[in-house]
């Protein structure tokens, strides 16, 4: 399974508000290819985020993400419960996060990653730092790193 945070990974971490108080987030469509690649090889994807917004709910629905957990304080606990449900261990999980709220889970999964613009403290705790920043395709890069070139070529040839 691949688990991802949202703010700072799929977005640049900014909180944008218009004059009416509506919250806005900018997603990079490149990350949706990461979801397509996971579906191609039947790897379940979960979003676990501390925020709770309609924006993320709509993005997850549009991409048919299997598991969405919002407003989460303890991401490790949710990941453990999901692993139990799926009959897998945390060492069979890859997770990309970018900040302190992700740290406990980053330290327990089989493969951990953060975007290039995460703090140095987080970078020191993960297996892989993406070349891309959060909101600039970091999730897709993470998925491509895990799956490798041969699976990506197979996916492209299937189109």
Going residue by residue through the chain, which has 159 residues, state the pLDDT in tens, using 9 for 90 and above. 999 999 999 999 998 999 999 989 999 999 999 999 999 999 999 999 999 999 999 999 999 999 999 999 999 999 999 999 999 999 999 999 999 999 999 999 999 999 999 999 999 999 999 999 999 999 999 999 999 888 888 888 887
Q: Could you tell me where the beta strands, DSSP code E, fall in 59-101?
A: 67-69, 94-96
Tokens of residue 93, six digits: 């999980």
**What global pTM score does this model have?**
0.94
Tokens of residue 159, six digits: 């189109």
């Amino acid at each position: 399974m691949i688990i991802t945070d949202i703010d700072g990974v799929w977005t640049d971490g900014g909180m944008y508000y218009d004059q009416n108080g509506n919250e806005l987030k900018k997603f990079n469509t490149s990350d949706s290819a990461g979801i397509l690649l996971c579906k191609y090889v039947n790897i379940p994807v979960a979003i676990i985020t501390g925020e709770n917004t309609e924006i993320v709910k709509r993005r997850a629905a549009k991409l048919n993400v299997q598991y969405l957990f919002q407003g989460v304080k303890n991401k490790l606990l949710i990941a453990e419960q999901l692993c139990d449900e799926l009959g897998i261990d945390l060492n069979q999980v890859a997770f990309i996060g970018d900040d302190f709220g992700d740290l406990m889970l980053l330290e327990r999964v089989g493969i951990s990653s953060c975007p290039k613009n995460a703090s140095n403290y987080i970078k020191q705790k993960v297996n892989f730092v993406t070349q891309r920043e959060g909101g600039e395709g970091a999730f897709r890069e993470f998925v491509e790193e895990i799956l490798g070139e041969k699976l990506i070529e197979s996916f492209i040839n299937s189109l």
